[in-house]
Structure 1
Amino acid sequence: MSTSELSLGIEFGSTRIKAALIDSTWKPVASGSYTWQDTQVDGYWSYPLEDAWTGLRESMRSLIDDYRNSTGAAPQIAAAGLSGMMHGYLVFDEHDRLLVPFRTWRNNRTHRASTELSELFQFPIPQRWSIAHLYEAILNSEDHVPRIRRLTSLAGHIHYTLTGKHVLGLNEASGMFPVDPATLTYDAKYVAMFDKILEKHGIPYRFLDIMPEVVEHGTGAGTLSEQAIKDFDPTGTVQAGLPFCPPEGDGGTGMIATNSIRPRTANMSAGTSAFAMVVLEKPLAGFHEEIDVFLTPDGKTVAMAHSNNCTSDLNDWVTMLTAASSALGNEVSMSEGFSALLPLALEADADAGGLTVIPYRSGEHLTGFADGVPLFLRSSDARFTPANLMRAHLFSALAAMRIGLDVLREREKATVERITGHGGFFTTPRVGQQLAAAVTGCDCSVMETAGEGGAWGMALLASFLKDGDGSLPDYLDRVFADAAVSTVAPTAKDLEGFTAYFVRYKAALGAERAAVDAGMNKG
C-alpha cells in the first residue's frame, strides 16, 4: 500500500464522531471514533461546539494510532473531507462568535416558519432545515438575527475553521435551502422571495451574504491551514496544505456509501434517525409536508422520508437489560447484549405479540409531535417476551419513516422495488435487514460495508477529489464493482405482522399525545 494514496473521511454523527482512512482500493485501513450525546439547552436539542472539537481530535488521535499499530508507519493522507448531521442552525457574527447555541435537526420548534415558507415557495421546507430555523428566529424577533454574518451546518463550520472556506457540497447545501438542480446553486426565485422577507423585517443583509458557497465534488474546497493543525490532529502527523473536498451531509454520505445516486436507486440510513431516500427520474407532481426534496452529492433530485427517532430508545432498553444481566451475575458487554438480544426478534410473534413501542425521545414531525416521550405499551393478554420486545422496538424504529414512504407511493405513485440499507440498524447480520424489508414492503439489500457508515462514504468523496477521474456515478460503480451484496425479500408472514403492528402503532399515538400534553417529556 502506498501511504500517499490514503483518503480520510470524518463524520459528525448524532451519537458518534468517526474518522475513516481508506487506501487506493477504497478499503478501510484505520479508524477512530468518539462518543457524544445531545442535550437540551433553552428548550433546544444541542451539542457544545467544544465537544465537536474534542471529538475531532480524539478521533484523529485514535485513527493515527490504529494505523501506526497495523503498519508501523505514520499515515500520509492525500485528501480529506468532513460530513455531519444535516440541517440545524449555526450562526456567527462578524468576529466568528457563535450567536446562539447550536440548534440541531432534532428540534421541532419551527412549525410556523416551515408552514409559511412551504406555502410561499410551493416547495417543502421541513422544520429541520436551516432556513426554517432562521425564519422562525425572525418571526420570534430574536435579537441576534441582525448580527448574523455566517449561517452554516456543523460540517460546514468545522470545514470553515480548518480551511477558511465558507462552502458546502450540494447535498448539505440543499438541506439548508432549496438548490436548483439546473444551476447547482441556491434557487434564485426562492432567494428573491426570502430577500423580500428580510427587507420587510428590516434585516440589514441579503440572504446570499450569509450563506456558504455551493461547490461541486471533484473540485477542491480549500486546504488545511497552518493555524488549524492543532485543532485537527493533536499528534502533529498531518501537515498544512492537506486538500479538502466540499463538506457534505450525512444523507449524502449515506447515498455514497450505498452507491445510490443514480435515478431509481433508493437507500435507507437507520441509526439515531431513520431516512429513506429515492433518487427521482422526474420532479414530484406536488409538494408534501411529509417529504423532503433535496439533491444527491452530484446534483440529482431526491425525495426523502425522514423520521427523527429510530434506535435511541432501543439502545436505552438494551443498556438496561445488559445492566440487569450483570446485576444477576452474568457480566456482559453492550456489544454482547446487542448480539444476544436483537436476533430474538426473528423468533418473535409476527406482530410482536401485542407489544407496542413509541420511541420518541424527541419530537416527530411525521406524526405531528413537537416533543416526544418514549412509551412502551402492552395489552393485558400480550405475550411479554424478550423476542417480542425486540421486534416491537425494531418495527417502531422505522414506523414513522414508513408514513413518509406511503405518501410517496400513494400520492406520487412512486415505485420502490429495492432499498439498500446502512447504519447501526443493519450491524447485526440479517435482523435489521429482514425487518426493514417488512416495514418498507420491498426487497432490502445490505452491502458488506453497511457498518462502515458515513465516514467511509465521506472518505470516498475525498478519494474522488484525489483521483479526479470522470463522473461521480461512474467512479462509484468502480468502487462497488466487486462489493458483496445480500438481498432479503419480505415474507408474507412478516408483511402481515407489520401491518397489524402498524395499526397498533398509529392507535398508540393518542397515548403519546396525552403523555406529551401532561408534560411527561419535561422530566
Structure 2
Amino acid sequence: MAALLLGYDIGSSSVKAALVDAQTGRLVASATSPDQEMKISSPQPAWGEQHPDEWWQELIRATQRLKETYSFDGEDVVAIGIAYQMHGLVVVDKDDTVLRPSIIWCDSRAVTIGQQALRDLGETYCLGELLNSPGNFTASKLKWVKENEPAVYEKIHKVMLPGDYIALKLTGEAQTTVSGLSEGVMWDFKTNQVAHHLFDYFGIDETLLSDIVPTFGFQAGVSASSAALLGLKAGTPVTYRAGDQPNNAFSLNVLRAGEVAATAGTSGVIYGITRETSSDRAGRVNTFVHVNSQPADPHLGVLACVNGTGILNSWLRRLVGNMPYEQLNQLAAQAPIGAANLLFYPFGNGAERILGNANPGANLKNLSLTTHQIEHVLRSAQEGIVFALSLGLQIMESVGVSARVVRAGEANMFLSPVFREAFVNTTGATLELYNTDGAQGAARGAGVGAGIYATFDEAFASLERVGLTEPDPVKQQAYAEAFDRWHTQLLASS
C-alpha cells in the first residue's frame, strides 16, 4: 500500500490540495479549485469577507479533482496537513454552524479598535508582550463583532481562524495552535500564554477560544461523515496546521534564524526568522510564533505584508481582456526599467500595515497619454509591488531581520522575469526559487507531525532549487533611482 501525505492550502483565491509520497517526499499530484479566483465580498468600502462554507466546498472539489488526477484509496493517506489564509475571524455556534461570513485578512473595519487598544493598553504591553499592536488582527475583529453585532456575538460558541474551521469540518473538533493565536494577536510572548490582559480589556470571554493543540503532532482524526464525503479513511490523523506565511516559510525549509522566505500571491509577503522578541514601534511589520518554535527554543517570524499584490495583477488582467499572465509578463518586459517614470502604488486592498494601517487606495502617477502604453502600466504595477515589499524589508531590517538570500516557490508573480529582476535589484538579495508550494508544505508538515520524518531536513530531502536570480550592479542603480522616485512621491502624499 502506498503511503501518501495530503496537504490542503486554504487561500482567499482558491483551495489547493497536494499528495506527497511519504517515502520519497516527492509530489504525486495536485489540484486546485475553483478555476477562477474566489470572490471577496465588500459589503462596505475597505471590508473583505468570505463565507467559510465556500472554502469547505472548494476543498471538497479540489479533493475530487485530485482523485481524478491520481487514483488513490482513502487508506493510502496516512496524515493530513492544513495551511490557511491568516488573520481571518470565523465564529460558530454550539452546533458548529457559521454565524456570519468570515472577516478576512484584508478587511480594515477593526483598525480604529486596534489603534484605541494600543493607546489604552500602552506600547510597553502591546509591543513588549504581544510584540504587535492589536491593529487590524483577529482579536480586534472579534471586538468589532461584539460592538456592532451583539446578537451574533451572543450566539458564539467558538472563535477560530480559517484553518481551524477547516480542521473542524474535517474532524468535528474545535482546536487552534499557539502560532495561530499569535497571528490573531491573542498570545502573550512574555508569559507564554493567552493574552489575558487583552481579553479583559476587550471584555471577551476566553472560553470562546478553541483548545490549543501542537502545530506538529496528532490533533484529531477525520470524522466518519467527512471521510465518506471526501473518500478518505475515518480516523486519518490531522497532524499539522499553520497560517499561510509561516507555512510558506516551512515549505521552503526556512526554519532557522536569518533565513527569509517570500510569497507574491493575492498579497505579497517577506517573512524572516529570528530568535529575538523585537517589534516595530509603529506596528508596520509584525512578529508571530513560527511553526518550529518551542518555549525553550523560540523561533519567531517577522512579517512585512503588501495586501495589493497578485490582486492588482489579476485586476489588470481583467482590464485587458483576461489575457494569460504569461502574456502580461511579456508585455511588461517591453517597457524600460522605471516604466518611463510611471509610478504605481499597489495599495487598493485594505489597510496596509507597512503604511501604519493607512488605506490610501491604489494610485497611478505621472501618467502621460502620449508616452505610456499598456506595457508601461503593467511594468509599473510589478515594480510598484516590489518597491512596496522593499519598503517592508527596510522596516524589517530596523528590527534586526535582513535578507541576503530570499527563498520563494516558483509560482504566482515570481513566474514573471520582470518581477524577479525588480525584486533582486531593488532589495539587493539573491532570489532562490524552489519546486514547492503551500499545499506541498502542508503535506510535508503532516509527515513531520505524524512522525514519518524524524527531522525537518528529512522532510525536505526532495526539495530542489529550480531558479536563481542575482542582483546586477548596473540594473541595481537603475532600480535604485526608480525606487527613490516612487518612495519620494509616496512620502509627499502621506
1:342 aligns with 2:291: no
Q: Give the equivalent residue in structure 2 for 1:164.
A: 172
Q: Give the equivalent residue in structure 1 for 2:94.
A: 94
After superposition, residues 106-145 of structure 1 pair within 5 angstroms as 106-119=106-119, 120=121, 121-123=125-127, 124-125=132-133, 127-140=135-148, 142-145=150-153
Q: Which moved more, 1:24-33 or 1:416-425?
A: 416-425
Structure 1 Cα separation of the partners of residues 69 and 44 of structure 2: 39
Structure 1 Cα separation of the partners of residues 340 and 387 of structure 2: 17
Structure 2 Cα separation of the partners of residues 434 and 56 of structure 1: 35
Structure 1 Cα separation of the partners of residues 410 and 86 of structure 2: 16
Q: Give the equivalent residue in structure 2 for 1:7.
A: 5
Structure 2 Cα separation of the partners of residues 280 and 412 of structure 1: 10
Report if aligned partners of 2:279, 2:286 keep a CA contact under 8 Å in 1. Answer: no
After superposition, residues 208-219 of structure 1 pair within 5 angstroms as 209-219=207-217
Q: Give the equivalent residue in structure 1 for 2:451.
A: 467
Q: Give the equivalent residue in structure 1 for 2:155.
A: 147
- Please tell me the residue identity of whatever aligns with 1:176: G
SS at match of 2:406: strand
Q: Give the equivalent residue in structure 1 for 2:296.
A: none
Shift of 1:249: 0.8
1:272 aligns with 2:266: yes
Q: Give the equivalent residue in structure 1 for 2:320.
A: 321
1:456 aligns with 2:440: yes
Structure 2 Cα separation of the partners of residues 491 and 118 of structure 1: 43
Shift of 1:63: 0.2
Q: Give the equivalent residue in structure 1 for 2:290.
A: 296
The unaligned stretches of length 5 or more in structure 2 are 294-298
Q: Give the equivalent residue in structure 1 for 2:343.
A: 356
User: How many residues were matched structurally?
Assistant: 475
Report if aligned partners of 1:18, 1:34 keep a CA contact under 8 Å in 2. Answer: yes
Cα gap change, 1:428 to 1:127, in 2 (>3 Å): same
Report if aligned partners of 1:179, 1:294 keep a CA contact under 8 Å in 2. Answer: no
SS at match of 1:38: coil
Shift of 1:247: 2.5
Q: Which moved more, 1:338-347 or 1:108-117?
A: 338-347
Report if aligned partners of 2:240, 2:442 keep a CA contact under 8 Å in 1. Answer: no
Structure 1 Cα separation of the partners of residues 458 and 118 of structure 2: 36
Report if aligned partners of 1:181, 1:301 keep a CA contact under 8 Å in 2. Answer: no
- Please tell me the residue identity of whatever aligns with 2:59: L
Cα gap change, 1:267 to 1:211, in 2 (>3 Å): same
Shift of 1:382: 7.4
After superposition, residues 492-507 of structure 1 pair within 5 angstroms as 492-506=473-487
Cα gap change, 1:65 to 1:33, in 2 (>3 Å): same
SS at match of 1:304: strand
Cα gap change, 1:413 to 1:74, in 2 (>3 Å): closer
Shift of 1:181: 6.2
Report if aligned partners of 1:169, 1:297 keep a CA contact under 8 Å in 2. Answer: no
Shift of 1:381: 8.2
1:404 aligns with 2:392: yes
Superposed CA RMSD in Å reads 2.9
Q: Give the equivalent residue in structure 2 for 1:79.
A: 79
Report if aligned partners of 1:418, 1:443 keep a CA contact under 8 Å in 2. Answer: yes
Structure 2 Cα separation of the partners of residues 143 and 438 of structure 1: 52
Cα gap change, 1:389 to 1:118, in 2 (>3 Å): same
Please, what TM-score do these two structures have when normalized by structure 1? 0.82
SS at match of 2:79: strand
Report if aligned partners of 2:448, 2:455 keep a CA contact under 8 Å in 1. Answer: no
Please, what TM-score do these two structures have when normalized by structure 2? 0.87
Structure 2 Cα separation of the partners of residues 503 and 18 of structure 1: 38
Report if aligned partners of 2:260, 2:406 keep a CA contact under 8 Å in 1. Answer: yes
Report if aligned partners of 1:279, 1:303 keep a CA contact under 8 Å in 2. Answer: yes
SS at match of 1:144: helix
Alpha-carbon displacement from aligned partner over 1:250-278 (angstroms, at most 9, x marks no partner) = 01220112111111100111110011111
Report if aligned partners of 1:162, 1:224 keep a CA contact under 8 Å in 2. Answer: yes
- Please tell me the residue identity of whatever aligns with 1:310: T
Give the one of 461, 472, 477 matched to 1:491: 472
